[in-house]
Amino acid sequence: MAKDVGIDLGTANVLIHVKGRGIVINEPAVVAVNNKTGQVLAVGTEAYNMVGRTPGDITAIKPMKDGVIADFDIVQEMLRFFLQKLNLKTFFSRPRILICCPTNITSVEQKAIREVAEKSGGKQVFLEEEPKVAAIGSGMEIFEPSGNMVIDIGGGTADIAVLSMGDIVTSQSVKIAGNQWDYDILQYIKRKYNLLIGERTAETLKMTIGTAVRGARTETMDIRGRDLVSGLPRTITVTSDEVEEALHESLKTIILAAKQVLEKTPPELSADIIDRGIIMTGGGSLLHGLADLMSEELKVPVLITENPLDVVAIGTGILLESLGKKKRRFL
């Protein structure tokens, strides 16, 4: 019998949870393709290592954008590759797949995700909203009649939701998250230093010396890039405060969205959120000082969950367990 599979189909990473085995795949959502033949050359970590380093006839594609499918065929190839690697499909049965999506995607985008999972080998495909699954994976009691708030910052979207009685009461999704932060840093360095750097370098800066609070970190890092004036390689030193300056506007947008969700929350649930605090999940929650900044701006305690990168995949595992026991309502 084929096992049930939970997929966190993220903009930056794909995590796959197999019932009874836990998280078995955690790889970048990148596919390397030969432009001339259209042939897929590498998927996941192998393809990610090629980003910015390929010859002209090979392109490393990120087929997910802002939490939704940007390139249908490539996502299908990527999922098929990962599922074949797991060898779950037997001659007689195919796995049931639970897949996560951002809160505000359209019915057309939902249909595309469902279709791609079916074509990749799923028998039945269930969709569930990402912040809800993240909350379940974090151990929040969302099926109780009390307010829980989660801020899930991934690669493509920041999903903010208040949950009660197992459903989303109010939510908002903004297309600003980890990937946008990398782009902000890249543009900032280009503007300030006339230096062109790659996405990988921008991401390393963010993770190594980045901060959400000015003055909270005083580290520096040397980076190399191409001088836009001379066209030659050049090295510069970047500080933590410069990274904060680059990210400032994007962080303000996420904070504003969280404030709007709180403003729309019924007062009884707001009282619960003040007692329990807000849980932050996703890779973006690991940005230095972000939880403190959120707490200060929202006037509510903000805590980072354990294993923030894995909670959505863990949540799919918990939901898969309940699939057989009782019928949950999915999208």
* Cα 20 to Cα 11: distance, rounded to the nearest angstrom: 26
155 assigned ligand-binding residue: yes
1: pLDDT strictly greater than 50: no
How far is C-alpha 124 from the chain's CA centre?
24
* Cα 175 to Cα 250: distance, rounded to the nearest angstrom: 10
CATH of 5-26+67-132+311-325, one of 3.20.20.70, 3.30.930.10, 3.30.420.40, 3.30.1330.60: 3.30.420.40
285 assigned ligand-binding residue: yes
Domain covering 144-304, topology: Nucleotidyltransferase; domain 5 (3.30.420)
Is there a shared CATH topology between the 5-26+67-132+311-325 domain and the 144-304 domain? yes
DSSP state of 305: P
Q: For residue range 11-38, what is the model confidence (pLDDT) as tens digits?
A: 889 999 998 888 999 999 999 998 888 8
Residue type at 189 in one-letter notation? I
Residue carrying structure tokens 């959400």: 212
Q: For residue range 53-95, what is the model confidence (pLDDT) as tens digits?
A: 778 788 888 888 887 888 888 888 898 888 888 876 655 578 8
265 assigned ligand-binding residue: no
154 assigned ligand-binding residue: no
Boundaries of every domain in the chain: 5-26+67-132+311-325, 144-304
205 assigned ligand-binding residue: yes
DSSP readout, 80-127? HHHHHHHT---SS----EEEEE-TT--HHHHHHHHHHHHHTT-SSEEE
Count CB-CB contacts under 10 A for residue 162. 26
Backbone angles phi, psi at 123, to 5 degrees: -80, -60
Q: For residue range 206-257, what is the model confidence (pLDDT) as tens digits?
A: 999 999 999 999 999 999 999 999 999 999 999 999 999 999 999 999 999 9
11 assigned ligand-binding residue: yes
